[in-house]
């Protein structure tokens, strides 16, 4: 199952907005230009030069949009604080994915998950 992993910086006193530090699918980082293109498309902000979010809900909305754009099953979001606390125990990609699963916020792509359910529903109803 393909997942999109997002590490985000929470609001700080000097910057009250959330921002994405890193986003990747499996072992491939998303290009910044592609992220800007998706951000502008998602929020209809063609003038935006920086990807930032006023709330976690807005970040989750963007994560859901990315799952649909890249046709992945889910996005898993992890704050830089949680990432930094847990990274000491990560020794390979599988451990990193487990870290996201354990501490991250999962946003499921309903389009892919609905297609999967429909397929299984059809198979099970063919008795």
* Three-state DSSP class for residue 19: strand
Q: In what order do the strands lie in the sheet with 28-29?
A: 28-29, 19-25, 3-9, 74-79, 105-108
pLDDT of 113 = 62
The pTM (predicted TM-score) of the whole model is 0.81
Calpha distance 91→59 (Å, rounded): 28
Mean pLDDT by 10 residues, the chain (127 residues): 91 89 90 92 82 94 95 94 82 79 90 61 50
pLDDT of 53 = 94
pLDDT of 94 = 77
Q: Which residues pair with 53 in a beta bridge?
A: 18
Q: Domain-by-domain residue ranges, the chain?
A: 3-124
Q: Comparing C-alpha atoms, which of 18, 21, 70 is closest to residue 41?
A: 70
């Amino acid at each position: 199952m393909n997942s999109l992993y997002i590490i985000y910086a929470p609001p700080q006193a000097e910057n009250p907005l959330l921002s994405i530090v890193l986003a990747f699918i499996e072992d491939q980082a998303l290009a910044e230009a592609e992220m800007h293109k998706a951000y502008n498309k998602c929020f209809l902000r063609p003038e935006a030069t920086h990807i930032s979010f006023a709330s976690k809900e807005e970040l989750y909305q963007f994560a859901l949009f990315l799952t649909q754009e890249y046709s992945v099953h889910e996005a898993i979001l992890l704050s830089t604080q949680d990432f930094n606390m847990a990274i000491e125990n990560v020794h390979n990609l599988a451990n990193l994915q487990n870290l996201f699963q354990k501490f991250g916020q999962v946003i499921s792509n309903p389009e892919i998950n609905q297609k999967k359910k429909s397929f299984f529903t059809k198979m099970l109803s063919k008795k």
